[in-house]
Amino acid sequence: MAGKHILSLDIPQSSNCEILPIVDTSDYNEDLGVDCPELLITSPGYNSPRLIKTTVVKDSDGNWETFGRLNLTACSLGLQTTSCSSSRAAIKDGIYIIKYSVSPNDKILVEYNHLRVTEILTTYYKKLCELDVKPCQPSSEFQQVMAEMKYIRTLIDAAVAKVEYCQSPNEGLELYNFAKAKLKKITCDVCC
């Protein structure tokens, strides 16, 4: 169907526990207006979404510009309500439901289930640092630990896939929690 906006968002995984990045990758039709952009985000454990203010404006050539990149904080998501000007709280892992629309908002919209895995990946990378991986022939015990780490990373990736691509959020959370429990059991007392 010609002559419509094609809305699209990219929600990259971030290594910063205090930021939830969202990038507008929409293709706005230059011949149509862009009114009432709404970005609604429902955080894990919440039943109602938070409206995030966005604007879409025309550039000097008369083309619609995307809202660009937003780096949302716990304050902008309504997860932190005090000391917003002096500190930032971490944004927890979990499923974020992200909806973006323009007028007419009930007809021109996209919706994403995003599994945030920043916290678990940070823990995963810290475990790798603690394991002190070296270029050597590893002991069999160390090989087992590394095989377990590889399996945990696959579980994390599978959790994201279940939530974001397979539309199976419960299965994704189950995989996430299983990976988190396995990661907690990894001990760093073995050597290469």
pLDDT of residue 28 exceeding 90: no
Domains of the chain: 1-116 (2.60.40), 118-185 (no CATH)
pLDDT of residue 107 exceeding 60: yes
pTM for the structure as a whole: 0.89
- What is the reported pLDDT for 190? 59
- What is the reported pLDDT for 1? 44
Mean pLDDT to the nearest integer, 48-69: 82
pLDDT of residue 120 exceeding 90: yes
Task: Tell me the percentage of the chain whose pLDDT exceeds 70.
Answer: 96
- What is the reported pLDDT for 122? 96
Cα 13 to Cα 45: distance, rounded to the nearest angstrom: 20
Q: What is the pLDDT of residues 11-20, one digit of tens each?
A: 999 999 999 9
Burial class of residue 34 in the structure, from the number of CB atoms within 10 Å of its CB (0-12 exposed, 13-18 middle, 19+ buried): buried
- What is the reported pLDDT for 12? 95
Cα 145 to Cα 126: distance, rounded to the nearest angstrom: 14
Give residues with Cβ within 8 angstroms of 184, minimum separation 6: none
Cα 28 to Cα 73: distance, rounded to the nearest angstrom: 27
Average pLDDT, the chain: 90
Q: What is the pLDDT of residues 80-96, one digit of tens each?
A: 999 999 999 999 999 99
- How would residue 177 be classed by pLDDT, with cut points 50, 70 and 90? very high
Q: What is the pLDDT of residues 130-139, one digit of tens each?
A: 887 778 777 8
Give residues with Cβ within 8 angstroms of 87, minimum separation 6: none
- How would residue 108 be classed by pLDDT, with cut points 50, 70 and 90? confident
Higher pLDDT, 187 or 18: 18
